[in-house]
Amino acid sequence: MRILGIDSSGLVASVAVIDDDVLLGEFTTDYRKTHSTTLMPMLDQLIQMLGIPLSSIDAIAVAAGPGSFTGLRIGAATVKGLAYALSIPVIAVPTVDAIAYNLYGSRRLICPLMDARRQQAYSGLYRFSETNKFIVRKEQTPESIADIIERINIEDLPVTFLGDGVPVFKDFIEKNTTVDYDFAPAFCNRQRAGAVASLGRLYFNKEFYTSAEEFRPVYLRKSQAEREAEERKKAGSGAGGYNA
């Protein structure tokens, strides 16, 4: 089974093709270029380099979110265009899960941190069992860095941090973490489409996939306008007398 992996959820743009247990190719960049100008050319170059027909792809695994709203949408719209044209399923992989999956086989707790602005990170908590089964200990969610570190201290287990939130929160982590911690190295500490595709394969085998039409990014946050409208509603309910 051949799976195309795509991740444009953060600063990284990444595309990969796996064929069962083999990574045929992966193209990852993290250099401040907009995904709308890089993602498709990278895919095209990868496919050309591999010399495989695009029609040989059986499914597309995409980092579905959370992440940069714009980045997620570029990925989602790209995946929809490809999957619709090729009539193949879409596997929505939680972004934070896929980042954690980079550290396959680790015996430590895995804590990915994606910078979510407003002093928050999109984070979760993961580990691999004795038999290397991937265990989601805490599902991905936006949280304050203080809450994340507090939970890790309570867990009282060694932990590895990774993700583009590390440079943002490094000072806080170093000052407040009371357990043994370290930071993952360059080759496996950011989004990688190879990990998205590999995890996608597990999901696909559990029949956890959708169609180009039905697939939606997982923002985990409402738009600012919706949040403000809800706050106004809360504050304004009972005020009465308002007449447009």
The Cα-based distances of 52 to 21, 33, 43, 44 in angstroms read: 17, 27, 12, 11
Nearest CA to 191 among 129, 140, 143?
Answer: 140
Calculate ∠ Cα 30-114-89, nearest 5°.
75
Q: Which of 82/110 has CB closer to another protein?
A: 82
Q: Is 236 in the site for another protein (CB under 8 A)?
A: no
Residue 144 bridge partners (DSSP):
120
50 binds another protein, rule: CB under 8 A: no
Q: At its nearest, how many Å lie between another protein and the CB of residue 75?
A: 8
Which window, 10-18, 139-147, 184-192, 222-230, contacts another protein (CB under 8 A)? Answer: 222-230
Task: Write a three-state SS string for 201-229.
Answer: HHHHHCCCCECCCCCCCCCCCCCHHHHHH
Query: Judged by CB under 8 A, which of 19, 24, 29, 40 binds another protein?
Result: 40
* Burial class of residue 19 (count of CB atoms within 10 Å of its CB; 0-12, 13-18, 19+): middle
Comparison of 59 and 162: residue with beta carbon closer to another protein? 59
Residue from 32, 130, 187, 225 touching another protein (CB under 8 A): that is 225
213 binds another protein (CB under 8 A): yes
Task: Examine residue 66 and say whether the peptide bond preceding it is cis (omega within 30 degrees of 0).
Answer: yes
Q: Interaction with another protein in 112-171: which residues (CB under 8 A)?
A: none
Nearer to another protein, 40 or 179 (CB): 40
Residues engaged in binding another protein (CB under 8 A): 34, 36-41, 43-44, 54, 69-70, 73-74, 76-82, 84-86, 212-213, 216-217, 219, 223-226, 229, 244
